[in-house]
């Protein structure tokens, strides 16, 4: 494999710090560089303050080989990227007549008036390479400082992408004889906690090299990201596949999918394969389970609907849960959850039904503590599983966690019966 270059992406603009604009540039640039074997070590965002931009650039120059800077190249006074780099590097900014002509032609083609401050965008550093901007005014620049190469591009995503695809990637390939590629694969697990997963694969983590192994926790599930570097995509994928096999020998029972798949999508795929349908009865979740299902295209093929029977009267009048059962056991009970699931299956004529009941808070209900959740699954004409859980957190977290747990139970039940 070739040499490893440390790369960094810096987004310049106070709007990024305020959350007014998402920093999608950093993600996209990282993906493109991975395809040519360049590893991103750092992401930074800095506001429109000259001293802070200078400090940010200085830190990047001291720790990275390549620094990709987006934003701050516009014509206004708060576009400080050029000024900051000039002060850091002591390089002169000079009017680039060829770039100025290109900018003037852009305004002429678009029947717009070029103002005096647009001339600022034609200022480039001595000994720099201008990056053409085919769809905008601000050109990019490639310029060296000490042992670091800075690549400056506009913050407008479509302009930056055109520059990367049309010029920058090819330039980097020529300059650094880039031959390696980086590939990643996400393995997604449910039904096992982060600490338990990490404990089971600790030996593999301790001995990791290429691919690297990175456990990640999300809401109610965990993932492992495998990242490999090789001379070809095929070789990188082979490395990942071998490491995945080693991991699944240990924790394969908890795997539900790869990369961007979600647990609800995995369930819908299983239902499609089995030609089975599902419905729901929701109390404390209030339709969140239905929302998780219908967020996926094609859900209507297998998901028939959900009855949100939140109030006691709704359970009786809409879902037909019996008065006798509710009087004897209450709404937050195994008996109620099971009857809700059974009634939902009957109402929708579905193969499977799931129900949710419990106490989301903020107050106790029917003598049950906040966070008490009961989930029941009706499967093949009978109650297949009823489980009680005790979740902590605020009201909405408990509701979301309940749905995730329901999805987990469904997935493992479907896999077990496949």
Tens digits of residue pLDDT in 173-216: 888 877 778 899 999 999 999 899 999 999 999 999 999 999 98
Tokens matching residue 108 = 């002429």
Predicted confidence (pLDDT) at residue 1 exceeds the cutoff of 60: no
Q: How would you label 371-404 residue by residue, b for 16+ Cβ within 10 Å and e otherwise?
A: bbbbbbbbbeeebbbbeebebeeeeeebbbbbbb
Cα–Cα–Cα angle for 167, 168, 169, nearest 5°? Answer: 100
Instruction: Decide yes or no: CATH 3.30.70.2860 for domain 181-258.
Output: yes
DSSP for residue 369:
P
Mean per-residue pLDDT for 364-392? 94
Q: What is the pLDDT of residue 58?
A: 97
Q: What is the pLDDT of residues 224-266, one digit of tens each?
A: 999 998 988 899 999 999 999 999 999 999 999 999 999 999 9
Q: What is the pLDDT of residues 267-296, one digit of tens each?
A: 999 999 999 999 999 999 999 999 999 999
CA-based end-to-end distance of the chain:
43
Mean per-residue pLDDT for 310-331? 95
Q: What is the pLDDT of residue 116?
A: 67
Indicate the range of 95-109, 117-131, 135-149 predicted with least confidence.
Answer: 95-109
Q: What is the pLDDT of residue 172?
A: 93
Higher-confidence residue of 102 and 65: namely 65
CATH number given to 263-416: 3.90.950.20
For residues 340 and 319, the answer to whether their CB atoms sit within 8 Å is: yes
Cis peptide before 211 (omega within 30 of 0): yes
Predicted confidence (pLDDT) at residue 4 exceeds the cutoff of 80: no
Tokens matching residue 192 = 């096992």
Q: How does strand 181-189 pair with strand 140-145?
A: unpaired
Q: What is the pLDDT of residue 352?
A: 98
Q: Which H/E stretch holds residue 268?
A: helix 263-274
Predicted confidence (pLDDT) at residue 2 exceeds the cutoff of 60: no
Give the pLDDT band (50/70/90) at residue 3. Answer: low
For residues 118 and 103, the answer to whether their CB atoms sit within 8 Å is: yes
| Domain ranges in the chain with CATH number 3.40.980.10 | 6-176
Q: State whether the Cα torsion 276-282-287-289 is positive or negative.
A: negative
Q: What is the pTM of this model?
A: 0.72
Q: State whether the Cα torsion 169-171-172-176 is positive or negative.
A: positive
Predicted confidence (pLDDT) at residue 141 exceeds the cutoff of 60: yes
Task: Give the residue from 306, 281, 304 showing the smallest Cα distance to 358.
Answer: 281
Helix (H, G, I), strand (E, B) or coil at 148: strand
Cis peptide before 362 (omega within 30 of 0): yes
Helix (H, G, I), strand (E, B) or coil at 395: helix
Which CATH entry fits the domain spanning 6-176: 1.20.1250.20, 3.40.190.10, 3.40.980.10, 3.40.50.1100? 3.40.980.10
| Domain ranges in the chain with CATH number 3.30.70.2860 | 181-258
DSSP for residue 115:
P
Mean per-residue pLDDT for 127-155? 91
Mean per-residue pLDDT for 323-351? 96
Q: Which H/E stretch holds residue 354?
A: strand 352-358
Tokens matching residue 398 = 């408990």
For residues 329 and 336, the answer to whether their CB atoms sit within 8 Å is: yes
Q: Average pLDDT over the chain, rounded to whole?
A: 92
């Amino acid at each position: 494999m070739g040499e490893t270059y440390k790369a960094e992406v810096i987004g310049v603009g106070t709007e990024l710090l305020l959350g007014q604009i998402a920093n999608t540039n950093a993600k996209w640039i990282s993906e493109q560089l991975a395809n040519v074997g360049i590893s991103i070590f750092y992401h930074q965002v800095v506001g429109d303050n000259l001293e802070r931009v200078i400090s940010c650039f200085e830190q990047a120059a001291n720790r990275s080989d390549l620094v990709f800077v987006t934003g701050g190249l516009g014509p206004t006074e708060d576009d400080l990227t050029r000024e900051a780099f000039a002060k850091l590097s002591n390089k002169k900014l000079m009017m680039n007549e060829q770039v100025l002509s290109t900018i003037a032609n852009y305004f002429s083609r678009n029947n717009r008036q070029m103002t005096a401050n647009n001339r600022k965008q034609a200022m480039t550093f001595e000994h720099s390479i201008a990056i053409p901007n085919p769809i905008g005014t601000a050109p990019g620049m490639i310029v060296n400082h000490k042992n670091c190469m800075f690549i400056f591009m506009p913050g407008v995503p479509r302009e930056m992408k055109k520059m990367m695809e049309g010029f920058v990637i090819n330039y980097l390939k020529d300059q650094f004889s880039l031959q390696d590629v980086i590939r990643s694969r996400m393995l997604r697990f449910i039904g096992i906690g982060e600490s338990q997963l990490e404990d089971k694969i600790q030996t593999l983590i301790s001995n990791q090299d290429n691919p690297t192994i990175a456990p990640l926790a999300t809401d109610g599930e965990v993932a492992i990201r495998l990242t490999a570097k090789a001379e070809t995509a095929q070789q990188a994928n082979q490395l990942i596949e071998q490491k995945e096999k080693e991991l699944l020998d240990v924790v394969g029972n908890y795997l539900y999918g790869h990369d961007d798949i979600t647990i609800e999508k995995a369930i819908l795929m299983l239902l499609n394969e089995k030609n089975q349908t599902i419905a729901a009865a929701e109390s404390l979740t209030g339709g969140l389970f239905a929302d998780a299902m219908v967020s996926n295209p094609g859900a209507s093929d297998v998901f028939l609907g959900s009855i949100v029977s939140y109030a006691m009267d709704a359970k009786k009048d809409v879902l037909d849960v019996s008065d006798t059962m509710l009087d004897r056991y209450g709404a937050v009970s195994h008996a109620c959850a099971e009857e809700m699931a059974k009634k939902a299956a009957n109402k929708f004529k579905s193969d499977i039904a799931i129900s949710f009941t419990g106490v989301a808070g903020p107050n106790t209900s029917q003598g049950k503590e906040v966070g008490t959740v009961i989930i029941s699954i009706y499967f093949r004409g009978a109650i297949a599983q009823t489980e009680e859980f005790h979740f902590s957190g605020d009201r909405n977290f408990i509701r979301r966690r309940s749905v995730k747990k329901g999805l987990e139970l469904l997935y493992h039940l479907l896999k077990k019966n496949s």
